[in-house]
Amino acid sequence: MIKKANKFILLYHTAAKDDIAKRSKAAKMFCGGKMALHFQQKREHLQAILPRDVHFDERTLTFLHRIDNIDLRNSASGRTARVRTISDANAEVHTGGPKMTNAEKLTLAKHACHIRMGVIEGTHSAKCGHPGGSLDIAEVLAYLYFVEMKVDPKDPKNPDRDRLVLSKGHAAPALYAALAERGFFPVEDLKTLRKIGSYLQGHPNMNSVPGVDMSTGSLGQGVSAACGMALGAKHAGKPINVYTILGDGEVEEGECWEAFMFASHYGLSNLCVMLDRNHLQIDGTTETVMNSAPLEEKLKAFNFNVLTINGHDFDAIESAIAAFRAENEKPTCIILDTLKGKGVSFMENSVDWHGKGPNDEEYAQAMQELNAAYAALEEEDK
């Protein structure tokens, strides 16, 4: 099989981008002709699996060994199994392996730390905003933008990109920080959060912010939009995955449950709902304001593939996303058990930091803690 994979690689990667016949021949060679018709219909299919600069090491060849099974399983849903990537600065490292290395996890932890710094910079400059619920999704945003999602900062409107809908739109400082870290716009612009004339306002705007796929802010509507995107991708036969991040206070909205019913009915296996379960909302604990538990059982009753994980653990996030990609019949919900305000000691698990920005003294302390955390990661990476 390794010999066959090498032949496939040589033929596929020497073919011109629009040479369908030659690339179909490569697909037939590797998969015994089983997916030739599917490949002719979707000529971008293998390009998504094998980026042009993929490293053909033993781990990638092991991944190629599994392509025929993975793609035939997912082809009916229009989804693609892709080589996993870690993006670091100007380079993308295509690993294709089943598990991240410690070095890769350290890289992601640094990205998450930078995202948290961006949240603090923005909300301090604005003197308002929502730092608590932004800080606690840093890890999942780092994983999505630097490992999982097929996006290109140089081509943010590419129709074949994966989508992320931040349904809890008030966590815009985190989304902006992640987009800036990924290279969609300058990191320095984060300090213009909520300023008059800035394109970075309190809630995401798809018409003005590069990389934002949906304008959100009115809770409950983002997941509905994500359902529409996922269904549209299925109808178009596009290998597009749609991710949406909800708050646990947000699921008190009836529209969320209408969307869940819709996703289940239409078998949106390309939809991944990520529910930020930090147990706090603007008026107090979710258990006190409007207890939505047991969430896992309710979502299973709506015919979702449900996983509950530590939302700050990259191994857990990786495994959950892999389970989502393996599901080809129903939507997935990953319940992220998180700590609101994660990374800044005085903001952690405090409802007071749902919707206010840090003052100068608080900003200095927060940045001191985050800089220390980053320095520790740098030391560990030596």
Nearest Cα to 352, choosing from 174, 130, 175, 122?
Answer: 130
Tell me the per-residue pLDDT of 188-231, one tens digit each, with 9 for 90 and over.
999 999 999 999 999 999 999 999 999 999 999 999 999 999 99
* Shared domain check, 334 and 238: yes
Question: Is 226 part of a structural domain of the chain?
Answer: yes
Q: What gap in Å lies between CA 133 and CA 124, rounded to an integer?
A: 15
Question: Is 84 part of a structural domain of the chain?
Answer: no
Question: Is 209 part of a structural domain of the chain?
Answer: yes
User: What is the domain range of residue 245?
Assistant: 102-378
* Shared domain check, 132 and 14: no
Question: Is 83 part of a structural domain of the chain?
Answer: no
- Please give the structure tokens belonging to residue 203: 């809630």
* Shared domain check, 291 and 208: yes
Mean pLDDT, all residues of the chain: 83
* Shared domain check, 321 and 203: yes
Question: Is 65 part of a structural domain of the chain?
Answer: yes
Dihedral sign for Cα atoms in the order 11, 12, 16, 19? positive
Higher pLDDT, 382 or 214: 214
Q: What is the mean pLDDT of residues 359-376?
A: 98
Find out whether the peptide bond into 294 is cis, omega within 30 degrees of 0: yes
* Shared domain check, 197 and 336: yes
Question: Is 92 part of a structural domain of the chain?
Answer: no
Q: CB–CB of 299/306 below 8 Å?
A: yes
* Shared domain check, 140 and 54: no
Per the document, the length of the chain is: 382
Nearest Cα to 193, choosing from 179, 87, 230, 90?
Answer: 179
Give residues with Cβ within 8 angstroms of 73, minimum separation 6: 328
| CA angle 203–146–102, rounded 5-degree value | 130
Where does the pLDDT of residue 30 fall: very low under 50, low under 70, confident under 90, or very high at 90 and above? Answer: very low
Q: What is the mean pLDDT of residues 72-93?
A: 40
* Shared domain check, 255 and 113: yes
Dihedral angle computed from the Cα positions of residues 298, 299, 303 and 307, in that order, rounded to the nearest 10 degrees: -130
- Residue 381 clears pLDDT 50, i.e. is over it: yes
pLDDT recorded at residue 98: 56
- Residue 63 clears pLDDT 70, i.e. is over it: no
The CATH number that applies at residue 201 is 3.40.50.970
Tell me the per-residue pLDDT of 157-170, one tens digit each, with 9 for 90 and over.
999 999 999 999 99
* Shared domain check, 276 and 149: yes
Query: Rounded to the nearest 5°, which phi and psi values hold at 355?
Result: -140, 50
- Please give the structure tokens belonging to residue 356: 């206010």
Question: Is 86 part of a structural domain of the chain?
Answer: no
pLDDT recorded at residue 25: 52
What's the number of domains the chain is made of?
A: 2
- Residue 314 clears pLDDT 50, i.e. is over it: yes
Question: Is 97 part of a structural domain of the chain?
Answer: no
Give residues with Cβ within 8 angstroms of 226, minimum separation 6: 163, 165, 167, 214, 242, 243, 244, 259, 271, 273
Higher pLDDT, 157 or 45: 157
* Shared domain check, 124 and 64: no
* Shared domain check, 35 and 175: no
Which domain-ending residue is among 56, 75, 94? Answer: 75
Tell me the per-residue pLDDT of 91-150, one tens digit each, with 9 for 90 and over.
333 334 458 899 999 999 999 999 999 999 999 999 999 999 999 999 999 999 999 999
Q: What is this structure's pTM?
A: 0.78
pLDDT recorded at residue 382: 81
pLDDT recorded at residue 21: 53
* Shared domain check, 202 and 121: yes
* Shared domain check, 145 and 54: no
